[in-house]
Structure 1
Amino acid sequence: MAERFIGEIYQKVDAKARVSIPAAFRAILQADDPLASNSQRPRLYMVYGGKKRNFVECYSKLGAEKLAEDIESMEDGSPERIKAELNLITRSVMVEVEPDGRIVLPPRVREKIGLAGEVPEKSEVVFAGRSNRFRIYRRDVYDAEFGAIDDDDDDDIDPLTLVGRHKRKD
């Protein structure tokens, strides 16, 4: 079974827009990138498309390939595929993780999460695990949306009940 991106990890962003990738996330990126065993620089695919998204969605090399395969299975030329290609393939960028575990957030990524231009002092982002991918939010945006642990409970349904409703029948 493959490792999963889990947890919420708060990281500082320096004035040069550098941020450390959490160690557990780096290990998954390394394992999912066949070329990384030679270079020790795993690739990270950062998707900044989607007008309503206030985050950047990040994939390992294998995760990005799976996403591309899913999009390629859509009907060629369909409006859905065109939208998916634009927002998930075209509006993305590949970066290599430095040997020290950091990346420089690319300009379009900074723009997407609200850190365009000069990065304010004491800026922070949140790496939010999503199983086969993770998201990067500006900390204040993440905290406003997900900050309190119990705020996401709109009703009294246990989250495991929701999982059970959609469980695969293998």
Structure 2
Amino acid sequence: MDGYVSHYTNKLDAKGRVSIPAPFRAVLVRDGFDGLYVHPSIDQEALDCGGHALLREIDGLLSGLSPYSEERDLFSTALIGTSEILKVDSEGRTILTETLKSYAGITGEVTFVGHGHKFQIWEPGRFRAHLEEARNRVRDLRRQLSARHAAPDAPPLRSHGARE
């Protein structure tokens, strides 16, 4: 995979800087984005981050919506209007703004979580809780898929959460 994978936990230093994991920096360099594009996640108390690949995903979503629709305005506000482009220094560190840290509940440490075309930055305790919930839901989905495979005429899978 050529995207962001795995997860890493790093501390903020005394100046509030955090080192972006080397594998994530390598993806940003290949992507050719100057800096780090960040916006508050619309589904979690975390930050969505990336470069051109993330921006292409956002552009793709927005281009599928009518230019003057309420939906497009809402997504634009949430994904572009609240975004920030952070500088990354020569050592691969960035400074999260107070607004971003407050949204994600970040104080002394952060967990970087790869999502392929983007990565997220979490407060480590919140990420552990989210990971546990994700594992439980994936187990449930796997059971549903197994049951559906065994009974092809079964009703469609139920969706959970904000993306319904």
In structure 2, the partner of 1:129 is 114
Tell me the TM-score normalised to structure 1 length.
0.74
Which segment is superposed worse, 81-90 or 64-73?
Answer: 64-73
- Which protein has the larger Cα radius of gyration, Structure 1 or Structure 2? 2
Match of 2:4 in 1: 5
Which whole-Å deviations, capped at 9, do the CAs of 1:67-114 have from their partners, x for residues lacking one?
A: 234313420121210111000000000012110110001122111111
Percent identical residues = 26
Map 1:22-101 onto structure 2 (within 5 A): 22-33=21-32, 42-48=34-40, 50=42, 52-101=43-92
Unmatched runs of 5 consecutive residues or more in structure 2: 147-164
Partners in 1 of 2:124 and 2:131 — Cα distance? Answer: 10
Greater percentage in helix = 2
Which structure 1 segments of 5+ residues have no match? 35-41, 162-170
- Normalised to the residue count of structure 2, the TM-score between the two structures is 0.76
Post-superposition offset of 1:151 = 3.9
Contact residue 48 and residue 108 of structure 1 kept, 8 A: no
Q: Distance in 2 between matches of 1:75 and 1:69?
A: 12
C-alpha spacing 1:152/1:70, structure 2 compared with 1 (3 Å): closer
The root-mean-square deviation of aligned C-alpha atoms, in Å, is: 2.6
Instruction: State the Cα deviation string for residues 102-127 of structure 1 (Å, max 9, x = none).
Output: 00011221111113xxx4xxx21111
Q: Check conservation: 1:127, 1:135, Cα contact below 8 A.
A: yes
CA drift at 1:62: 4.0
Cα distance between partner residues in 1 of 2:140 and 2:84: 38
Alpha-carbon distance change, 153 to 75 in structure 1, aligned in 2, over 3 angstroms: closer
